[in-house]
Amino acid sequence: MPIKIEHDVDLQPYNSFKVKANAQHLVRISSISELQQLISTPIFKENKRFILGGGSNVVFLHDFNGLVIKSDEKKMTVIDENDDDVTLQVASGMVWHDLVMHCLKNNWGGIENLSLIPGSVGAAPIQNIGAYGVEVKEVIVQVDGMMLDTGEERCIKGADCKFSYRESIFKHELKEIFFISSVTLRLTKKKHKINSNYEALKVRLAQLGILNPTIHDVSNTVIEIRQSKLPDPKVIGNAGSFFKNPVVSLNQFEKLKKQWPLIPFYHYDNQSVKIPAGWLIENCEWKGKRIGHVGVHQHQALVIVNYSEASGEEIFMLSEQILSDVEAKFELKLMREVNMID
């Protein structure tokens, strides 16, 4: 059956910021064979392309004059299992939180700290999503997909994905030329490694009187914390955390600490620390501030929100002002976590 390519498609339902923008062309892909059909078409060959996941990490600056490729496959398969762990191959179009909930239902551990992160499974390795002391790279076995320039199917092992903080090979060398069709994860079935040392999570678990948390306790608490701090994109347009937490050397941090004794931090490795971007933004007095249709959320300075009919350009310009103010005050360059799509 030939693939269906749609034209002049409204992208507002496909981005969590609820920004109005149209795609010149859009195609939904449910298999590698459909993708192989697509790359032989004139529309594919003659247009710039953008691979769209769950739309929770993008801002369309204006209409996209090209082809948007969206994964619609949501299949999940157990490909290996023993007494200790289970290996899952998950299609890229599956909603990430649905996967987390399915795993918890089966008492499979490893991604419970990543509960309620918006977006699709295919986007998880691109961003190397992380939260509350865990990154998805810790459970990824491999990422499968196809090279859009050649049609070659490739399997990229987790060790070759060049994972780092919110980074991967898919954001650089393979950006927009590798279509992720599935992600393979290895999770525990027993003897789960409980990651509960992240400060906010540890404090809340203690408040709840949970001294020996299970993976279900961790997930429930993470969901509670996220819902208390982050606005629901179904209610108000946003993409969650808009900026990355800057990682600085120990020497640079000591200089900052002399000027700002109360500056919070987390140890990243033996040579560097991570500074919460939300604290930096809040200390530049952006928290709760609104300019026209856009603003910084009143409860979480990391989150930019679309209050009504904000354009992508308005969101971009607000982020530019925040970046400028943080650099002027702290001599630190923040990086956007959200992708600006031109």
- Catalytic positions are 166, 241, 337
Supply the DSSP string of 6-73, one letter for each residue: EEEEE-GGGSTT----EEEEEEEE-SHHHHHHHTTSHHHHHS-EEEESSSSSEEESS-EEEEEEEE--
Q: What angle do CA 88, 34, 342 make, to 5 degrees?
A: 90
- Cα–Cα distance for residue pair 119/258, rounded to 1 Å: 39
In angstroms, the Cα distances linking 54 to 71, 111, 268, 299, 327 are: 9, 18, 29, 24, 31
Q: What is the DSSP letter of 258?
A: H
Cα dihedral 167, 172, 176, 177 sign: negative
Q: Assign residue 238 a region (left: φ > 0; alpha: ψ between -120 and 50; beta: otherwise).
A: beta
**Beta pairing partners, 324:** none
Buried b (16+ CB within 10 A) or exposed e, 293-307: bbbbbeebbbbbbbe
Question: 């199917």: which residue's tokens?
Answer: 153
- Smallest CA-to-CA distance from 55 within 314, 239, 294, 260 is with 239
For residues 56 and 98, the answer to whether their CB atoms sit within 8 Å is no
**Beta pairing partners, 95:** 120
Task: Specify the DSSP element, H or E, that contains 273.
Answer: strand 272-274
Write out 152-215 in H/E/C secondary structure. CEEEEEHHHCCCECCECHHHCCCCCCEEEEEEEEEEECCCCCCCCCCHHHHHHHHHCCCCCCCH
